[in-house]
Amino acid sequence: MKTPARRIAHTAIVLSAALIIGLIESLIPPVIPALPFLRLGLSNIALIFALIVLGAPPAYAIAILKSVLVPLMVGNPVMIAYSLPSSVTALTATSLLARSQRLGLPVISAFSAIIHNMAQLCVAALMTGTPLVFGYAPYLIFTGIISGVGIGVISYLLIRYLPKKLFDGLY
């Protein structure tokens, strides 16, 4: 049964998971020390799950809240300027790509990660006033593909094997 209270509860559960994963990921040292801003994006597993299982409106709510709350909780409010537009842009791309029956979640997630990274570079270029930040693009595209595929595989396995009775009636 899809009652509003149930949908809100499920959205809150997935939001909590995204926030916890985001907080834990902020404590992990950078994967590549020369690129300290580079993260794996593990909390995007929750966003992909939300998009596929709960639908676009709850996924956008989770993306927006995660993009605002995680930076505030870790004491880095400037991160909101990077996280919010890139999360919304990437989620929009994911939503559009997910409509295709030809692409699997790993491919969709890889495209989403690349779009997320490129949106962050655009924000960085605007904030710094220099296009030189686009020199990072090759590294961010490469790492976006790697992390995106991994996140897509994990998301697929989670959606496929999570007991359906936990989200009864939603998928």
Tens of pLDDT, residue by residue over 89-135, are 999 999 999 988 889 999 999 999 999 999 999 999 999 999 999 99
Q: How confident is residue 161, by pLDDT bands cut at 50, 70 and 90?
A: confident
**Domains of the chain, with CATH numbers?**
4-167 (1.10.1760.20)
DSSP string spanning the chain?
A: ---HHHHHHHHHHHHHHHHHHHHHHHHSPPSSTT-TT----TTHHHHHHIIIII-HHHHHHHHHHHHHHHHHHTT-TTHHHHHHHHHHHHHHHHHHHHT-SSS-HHHHHHHHHHHHHHHHHHHHHHHHT-GGGGGGHHHHHHHHHHHHHHHHHHHHHHHHHS-GGGGTTT-
Residue 72 has pLDDT above 60, yes or no: yes
pLDDT score at 1: 47
